[in-house]
């Protein structure tokens, strides 16, 4: 038998994990911009490349702000019944899933201005690397991280959805 308290406890664990996830995302992006940003920006050999990096960094920081402020879990309303608690929990899972599916694409898209700026700054006939200060291995690593993290969150949400569906079936039976 699952009680409302059990649902609340699991919801609070979920809430804490989301809070830590949001902090990790914010800290990771801020550290990445602080550590790699100056080298990549200063390594850019044209104004177009520097503008591209500046836009990419701003885009990444925008995503961090969006995640930090919009992807916070809405607290469980006090004094609700079991079915309402379960419904609120499921609604929050769906909202978090929707937000994160978009966010990882936004992270991927945030690198496009840096790539475009580097390519425009180089010109079509340049003998130098098209990506400028961005190495292909760095770009591949960035894409891989975005894809893996997005996949991990998708798997995590699917597991929680299944657990809640089983709970709902148990309460209806």
H helices present in 44-135, as ranges: 47-70, 82-110, 112-122
3-state secondary structure of 1: coil
Residue 125's H or E segment, with its range, is: none
pLDDT (tens digit, 9 = 90+) per residue, 73-88?
888 888 778 778 888 8
pLDDT band at 1 (very low <50, low <70, confident <90, very high): low
H helices present in 44-81, as ranges: 47-70
pLDDT (tens digit, 9 = 90+) per residue, 99-109?
777 777 777 77
pTM for the full predicted model: 0.66
């Amino acid at each position: 038998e699952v009680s409302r308290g059990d649902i609340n406890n699991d919801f609070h664990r979920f809430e804490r994990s989301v809070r830590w996830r949001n902090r990790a995302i914010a800290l990771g992006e801020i550290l990445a911009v602080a550590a790699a940003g100056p080298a990549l920006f200063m390594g850019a050999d044209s104004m177009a490349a520097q503008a591209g990096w500046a836009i990419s960094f701003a885009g990444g920081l925008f995503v961090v702000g969006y995640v930090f402020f919009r992807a916070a879990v809405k607290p469980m309303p006090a004094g609700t019944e079991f079915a309402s608690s379960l419904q609120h929990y499921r609604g929050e899972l769906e909202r978090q899933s929707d937000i994160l599916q978009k966010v990882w694409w936004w992270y991927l898209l945030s690198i496009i201005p840096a790539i475009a700026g580097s390519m425009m700054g180089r010109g079509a006939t340049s003998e130098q690397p098209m990506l400028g200060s961005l190495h292909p291995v760095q770009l591949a690593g960035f894409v891989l991280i975005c894809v893996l993290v997005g996949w991990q969150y998708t798997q995590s949400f699917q597991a929680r959805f299944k657990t809640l569906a089983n709970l709902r079936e148990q309460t209806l039976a």
